[in-house]
Structure 1
Amino acid sequence: MSKRNFTIDDVAEAAGVARVTVSRVLNNEQNVRPETREKVRRAVEALGYSVNPQARALASGINRTILLIHSHDPDREPNSYYHSGLELGALRACSALGYDLITRAVDPANANRARLLSSFIERERPAGIVLPPPLSDDVQLLEDVKSAGVRVVAVSAGEHARSVVAGAGIDECAGGRAMGEYLLSLGHRRIGFVKGPPDHLAAALRYDGFVDALRQSGIEEEPWSASGDFTFKSGVEAAERLLQETGQVTALACANDDMAAGAMLAIHRAHLDIPGDISVMGFDDTPMSDIIWPPLTTIRQPIKDIAERVVHILVDAAFDEVAPYETLPHELIVRESTAPPKSHRHVA
């Protein structure tokens, strides 16, 4: 037999059934007799027939694309690892499930963000949308997407958003608590913290967990803190403030690795030793954290696994009946940027 691309009509003829019956079997519909289903299956195997995803999409009116929205302010440098981690994880799932991945960027501070997202939906007609923080905590935005008839899942969403849509993430509060507990276990009692953006609930939960660890150890006073925007530059600026404002901190925890790396640069510039004078700790476990000097102690957040999981949740057949929020494990990664403090060492 000469090699050619067989069609659904060829399968129907080989199985001795109607074209619509083949379609029902291929779409796994229930109203087909077992013996008929088996005849179609044998015909598909004999012909080596495979479904053309684009043709199926056109015939069914369903676009087999997933739209991943990056929360990105164009005036700031992007958190490159977080963005790429989301893309790689989502792409891994899309490839396995037969979907295409499209990425777009929306500024969370843009007053027209809902209209912009609506234009993406109208143009792309995606099968579903993945929203990372802080957009994943914009409950009104989530409701708007659902009202448009599009499936949506949230990455690292807060409690309120979890009641609206499905999603996945880590226990951010527990991750922050692990940071505090580890630094406390080394003997640190004067610890600073560089927070994330004020509108980023996941980052706020990390700080809440960190403070809770201090409270549990008997430290009632509020720790020195600064707010960054997850960028390297904001980490530099926060640490420079720290060194100007206080000489009492022996450890500095940061809400992500980029800011921790920036803080380390500022500390090096001040001719201070890490961790001899100040221990530094991050969050995420980006590839950079293992190659900067000294290598960074951090909390590993499985960003790629989270993105992969939310795509699977998005396309799950039971999506419309249940809205699960899955919590993936985080992990403390200890490296050379942290050590016990030097007793009563003045760092300013």
Structure 2
Amino acid sequence: MEHVDGKSKWNETLRQWNVTCYILLMTSLRDVAKQAGISIATASRVINHPEKVSKSTREKVEKAMGEVLYVQKISTIQEKIAAVFIPDLQNPVFTRITEEIESRVKNLGWSILVCTTSDILETERQHAYEFFSHNIKSLIFVSSVAANSSENYPHYKALIKSGARMLFINGAPRNVKATSISDDELFAGQLAAEHLLNLGHRKIGFITGKRTSSPRSTLRLSAIKSEVIKHEHASVKTVYGNWGHKGGYESFAQLYKLHPNITAIICASDLQAIGVLQYCIENGINVPDELSVIGSDGIDQGDWVSPPLTSIQLPFNEIANAVSQWLNARMQENFITPNSVEILFKPNLIERKSTNKPRKGIKVETNKDT
């Protein structure tokens, strides 16, 4: 996948969307008839006069319609409705992205339908087919479970072939020709590491999601390591755990037990970082005097905790603006980009009160239950 700097290449990408494209061909009634093993006339009767055919024939045709993604031509075309798929509503990052997108596109006449997938690919697939069957062809996937995977996911290709316009935020399947809009993970890792190293920290920990579910965090870790090796006696220790508040709490307990001399922690999400803060409160570790903590995402909740959380903020505004422009580009004929392209926007550092120069380091207290 080609990596493109967001601010310098965005206009060029929009031009490609509108100029170097090809027309999508919708599935025809002939395809339905072939799939069902019946004549075109019979398939037409099922669609236009279902009361005149047997139940078994009607069910056979309806099944074939779903298999080939046939969409009936209806009087009300849902041209300016987009479906947004997010893993869940509890994570403030996903709700913030959705709200930012909606605030941009509503003034352009677009409506947004939000669907949760529970991070289950089959659920995502079923919902995508359901929306498409109602002629909602603009599909936006946020942190899809298939993001950055090299596996073959035929339903994405089938949707695109049948006329779906697909956009991925925070990673896209590698075998699918689609546009992806994300933050620059390498730059995010560099920002976090530079901030802590410039404060004087040399023993740093990194908490991220499970190895199999966080390929983008691998980029962030590589950037952190690249900065760490520039400094003598500096090192980074990594723990892979669950996302969210509980995952941060448990991962730090594990890291603290193995490496009690660390003086700073970088978390792959703000929720994980908030979990670290809770562990520190319960175990008498002073933040930031004994431990500096930096999160990732820049959610509002990071300003509500004590101490307020230093964080690498996602470029919410830039991502939402790019989605808005992408939707408008989709309206100019049924075109898509001919090649996969990833638009990257740089995050920024929000410096609050959870990071400081190292003073004491964490003291090991063997009487504490970890």
Alignment partners' CA distance in 2, 1:211 and 1:109: 32
**Among residues 137, 145, 152, which one is paired with 1:127 in the alignment?**
137
Alignment of 1:80-95 (within 5 A): 80-95=91-106
Instruction: Name the SS for the 2:83 alignment partner.
Output: strand
Instruction: Name the SS for the 2:297 alignment partner.
Output: coil
Tell me the CA shift for residue 93 of structure 1.
2.7
Q: Deviations over 1:112-141 (max 9, x none)?
A: 346414433344421301111244435635
Matched, 1:64 2:64: no
Q: Deviations over 1:252-310 (max 9, x none)?
A: 11001111001000011111100111111101111011121111111111235413422
Alignment partners' CA distance in 2, 1:85 and 1:342: 36
Matched, 1:211 2:225: yes
**Among residues 253, 258, 263, which one is paired with 1:245 in the alignment?**
258
Alignment partners' CA distance in 1, 2:237 and 2:270: 19
Unaligned runs of 5+ in 1: 1-56, 73-77
Alignment partners' CA distance in 2, 1:219 and 1:116: 52
Matched, 1:168 2:181: yes
Partner AA of 1:332 in structure 2: L
Tell me the CA shift for residue 208 of structure 1.
2.3
**Could you tell me which residue of structure 2 aligns to residue 338 of structure 1?**
355
Alignment partners' CA distance in 2, 1:205 and 1:314: 29
Partner AA of 2:85 in structure 1: I
Structure with higher Rg: it is: 1
Instruction: Name the SS for the 1:283 alignment partner.
Output: strand
Alignment partners' CA distance in 2, 1:83 and 1:170: 14
Unaligned runs of 5+ in 2: 1-72, 366-370
Aligned CA distance change for structure 1 residues 118 and 321 (closer, same or farther; 3 Å): closer
Alignment partners' CA distance in 1, 2:352 and 2:137: 42
Alignment partners' CA distance in 1, 2:250 and 2:327: 39
Q: State whether residues 154 and 167 of structure 1, in contact with CA within 8 Å, keep that contact through their aligned partners in structure 2.
A: yes
Q: Which has the higher contact order (CA 8 A, sep 6+)?
A: 2
Aligned CA distance change for structure 1 residues 130 and 207 (closer, same or farther; 3 Å): same
Partner AA of 2:262 in structure 1: V
Q: State whether residues 93 and 312 of structure 1, in contact with CA within 8 Å, keep that contact through their aligned partners in structure 2.
A: no
Alignment partners' CA distance in 2, 1:320 and 1:106: 25
Instruction: Name the SS for the 1:224 alignment partner.
Output: strand
Instruction: Name the SS for the 2:167 alignment partner.
Output: strand
Q: Deviations over 1:25-74 (max 9, x none)?
A: xxxxxxxxxxxxxxxxxxxxxxxxxxxxxxxx9657444210000124xx
Partner AA of 2:352 in structure 1: R
Aligned CA distance change for structure 1 residues 271 and 179 (closer, same or farther; 3 Å): same
Instruction: Name the SS for the 1:210 alignment partner.
Output: helix
Partner AA of 2:126 in structure 1: L
**Could you tell me which residue of structure 2 aligns to residue 260 of structure 1?**
273
Alignment partners' CA distance in 2, 1:285 and 1:344: 26
Q: Percent identity?
A: 20
Alignment partners' CA distance in 2, 1:240 and 1:344: 16
Let me know the Cα RMSD of the aligned residues: 2.7
Aligned CA distance change for structure 1 residues 61 and 335 (closer, same or farther; 3 Å): closer
With the length of structure 2 as denominator, give the TM-score of the two structures.
0.69
